[in-house]
Amino acid sequence: MELIADAASLLTVSERKVAEAILEDPKIVAFGTVAQLASRAGSSGPTVLRLAAKLGFVGFVDLQAAVQENIADQLRPATQRIRERRSGDLIANALHADLDNVRRTLEQIDPNDFAETVELVADRRHKVFVMASELSGSAGRLLAQQLDLLRDGIVLIDGPGPSVSRKLVDVEAGDVVLVFDLRRYEQWVLAATERVDEHGALVVAITDSRLSSLAQHARYVFTIAARGAGPFDSATGGMAFVHAFGAATAARLRRSATVRLDQIEASWAAGGDLIGDR
């Protein structure tokens, strides 16, 4: 980011597009190719190489190595990260990291893909399954809870084992499956996503990169920024996505969701379930 900022005045319009693509999704450089980066930026391979040279790198491989080093902290397991001594104001570091996670997550949303996904989820003719990994799927569990308050037919799948296979039996062609998982991906999530794709379900991947293994099975892909200030990845970006998606779905289902919420509130009150109501 610093190198791109320093070279900004020297970049052509095409080179600036490539630079913006790198800033939006560094993983496309770290794990992609010259052709993939050029396609993402709507540019060409030679433009990518010229940008690398202006940033001081000897070709794309050199640029790729630098980006990999920059994001390596995010990809390493917590058992490695916790061994590093953190310096500075940890509260300020957490604030900076999570503000950046929220901004990057929401700015990377394609408005058309988002609107079409909301329409799919709001279509009550089909069930909606939310598949959330154990380690990085907390946002998925929150989304399943919110959607269940708005409409019926919401099924949460959040753990490996026989229960997953049992729930997958109910997935039919046309059903919507929202999959939450970040690198390092859990094997059962990848396997289950492949199965529902084969069954004709409409898969939506909420993950860390468009190059994710989940993306190849998905109709829509939304990327989540999850850089943590400590040894653990942050869930803040994912939660921001869920809040935006829940709000959009509620707006789309306002009439029927109002009736459902009234019924749920009445049931809570009758059972004395929430202390604040007493």
Whichever domain contains 229, its CATH number is 3.40.50.10490
CB 7, CB 54: distance < 8 Å: yes
Same domain, 139 and 232: yes
Same domain, 116 and 172: yes
CA distance 67 to 50: 17
What pLDDT does residue 243 have? 98
Q: Is residue 92 part of a domain?
A: no
Q: Is residue 100 part of a domain?
A: no
Give the residue numbers spanning the domain of 244: 107-269
Domains of the chain: total: 2
Q: Is the pLDDT of residue 278 over 60?
A: no
| 70-117 pLDDT per residue, tens | 666 555 666 666 666 666 788 988 998 899 999 989 998 999 999 999
Same domain, 71 and 112: no
Share of the chain above pLDDT 70, in %: 91
Same domain, 137 and 252: yes
- pTM for the whole structure: 0.74
Instruction: Calculate helix-pair angle for 236-252, 111-122, nearest 10 degrees.
Output: 60
Q: Is the pLDDT of residue 210 over 80?
A: no
| 16-72 pLDDT per residue, tens | 899 888 877 888 888 889 999 999 999 999 999 999 999 999 889 988 888 877 666
Q: Of the residues 51, 75, 99, which one is the last residue of a structural domain?
A: 75
Contacts 24+ apart (CB under 8 A), 66-75: 67/22, 67/26, 67/29, 67/30, 68/30, 70/26, 71/26, 71/27, 71/30, 73/227, 74/226, 74/227, 74/228, 74/233, 75/183, 75/184
Same domain, 169 and 216: yes
Q: Of the residues 55, 75, 95, which one is the last residue of a structural domain?
A: 75
Residue type, 258: T
Q: Is the pLDDT of residue 119 over 60?
A: yes
